[in-house]
Structure 1
């Protein structure tokens, strides 16, 4: 059972590595040109936080998968919601940092945050431990959603948006 645990724990990091690749250049060139709220975390915090959050959400998905006996019929909704939020998570960085679409990034992150909450609600009867391991992720999503809104609000749209 080590292989599924390692694989599912590592899976979220794949999108994180791709997101990091997109972000690296933009955080030095485009991102500094944006107006940001005083309360935003420093740039150096983001990779550390995301490494922890991706590990926690990946391990949580393993706990749910194991409790449900794998990819069974009972797993369709809870792991389907998890997969949906993971894809939405991976999509935010290319929208925000890659395409510079602040409005779309905000609306996308609102849907993402709701999907994270729905995932946790669906997981609670299956594994309270998995649900609790997702709590820091949901808390970070509220912060990230607020930050995304403020950046969109405080930076005028260009014609391309």
Structure 2
């Protein structure tokens, strides 16, 4: 017999991630056929692109299962589950919206700020889950580790791609438009 609650809790974060990724399809490509992200300077420790899909599927599934555990441990949507599940929903929304900020708008610096807000929300969610039952917090630990890695990667890409100062025709220095968040 299928447990629709567990299935739904696992599918919801994955579906949000798929929708977020799907919105980035058809990105404008450079004349040589490369997408914006492919043209950025990245650190040597950047994972290969094929790794992100499987990694996020596992992470979303783990955190979805943890949310189901919190829901059932608290007896559904009760006073005890409101804060942990609200934190969960908030960090999921931040997670899903990072992709359009970084990849869609090409805002690396704003993406980094967004990621720091996500990190904070995910830590708060994990702590609140752990307080319900430690196992739920443990299910969130791989996610926190990946977010820490992703934050370092976002920061490194931001640092590597800051525009160099350009000279204006009248001799003044300009930092260029991409310098802004």
TM-score (norm 2): 0.83
Task: Give the structure with the higher percent helix.
Answer: 1
- The structure-2 alpha-carbon separation of the partners of 1:51 and 1:8, relative to structure 1 and needing over 3 Å to count, comes to same
CA distance in 2, matches of 1:127, 1:73: 16
- Pairing partner for 1:63 from 66, 69, 74: 69
**How many residue pairs are counted as aligned between the two chains?**
161
CA distance in 2, matches of 1:12, 1:142: 19
Bigger relative CO (Cα 8 Å, ≥ 6 apart): 1
With 14-23 and 129-138 compared, the bigger mean Cα shift is at: 14-23
CA distance in 1, matches of 2:90, 2:20: 17
> Rg bigger for which structure?
2
- Pairing partner for 1:149 from 155, 162, 168: 155
CA distance in 2, matches of 1:128, 1:150: 33
Paired position in structure 1 for 2:172: none
Cα deviation, residue 76, structure 1: 1.3
TM-score (norm 1): 0.93
Listed as ranges, the matches of 1:2-41 within 5 Å are 2-26=3-27, 28-41=34-47
Unaligned runs of 5+ in 1: none
